[in-house]
Amino acid sequence: MSYQSISPFTPHMGQEQVAFHRTELSVILSLYGRMVAAGEWRDYGISCLRDMAVFSVFRRTAENPLYRIEKRPKLRGRQGQYAVVGIDGQVLKRGSDLRTVLRVLERKLIRAVE
């Protein structure tokens, strides 16, 4: 019997995981930093699942996420692989370009600063 270390950050038992690429995370974290500076967001979480990756944004740590930025590669050819989902589960914006999809949250930043 052999022992195999199973890490949540690496594929195991033949299952691949979807993850955000460094360039995608750079775009997301840039927006996150501006929203933190504006006092709108306070915490985040990243989940890498078999069919999607999720960046969740929280106002307070113990709450449900305000927004989820989702990457679903299987939807690349249809609606687009990126989506911003609100707290109620409603898709606020979907598309194939991450920066374009995140503009829906940029507008909220502009309103928060005003």
**Mean confidence (pLDDT) of the chain:** 83
CA angle 9, 11, 12 (to 5 degrees): 115
**Considering the entire predicted model, what is its pTM?**
0.79
The pair of structure tokens assigned to 72 is: 């679903």
How do residues 74-87 score in pLDDT, each as one tens digit?
A: 988 888 899 999 99
3-state SS string for the chain? CCCCCCCCCCCECCECCCCCCHHHHHHHHHHHHHHHHCCCCCEEEEEECCCCEEEEEECCCCCCCCEEEEECHHHCCCCCCEEEEECCCCEEEEECCHHHHHHHHHHHHHHHHC
Residues 66/32, Cβ–Cβ less than 8 Å: no
Amino acid at 77: G
Query: Between these two residues, 28 and 110, which has the higher pLDDT value?
Result: 28
Query: Between these two residues, 109 and 88, which has the higher pLDDT value?
Result: 88
How do residues 4-39 score in pLDDT, each as one tens digit?
A: 444 444 545 556 889 999 999 999 999 999 999 988
Query: Between these two residues, 105 and 2, which has the higher pLDDT value?
Result: 105
Looking at residue 12, its pLDDT comes to 52
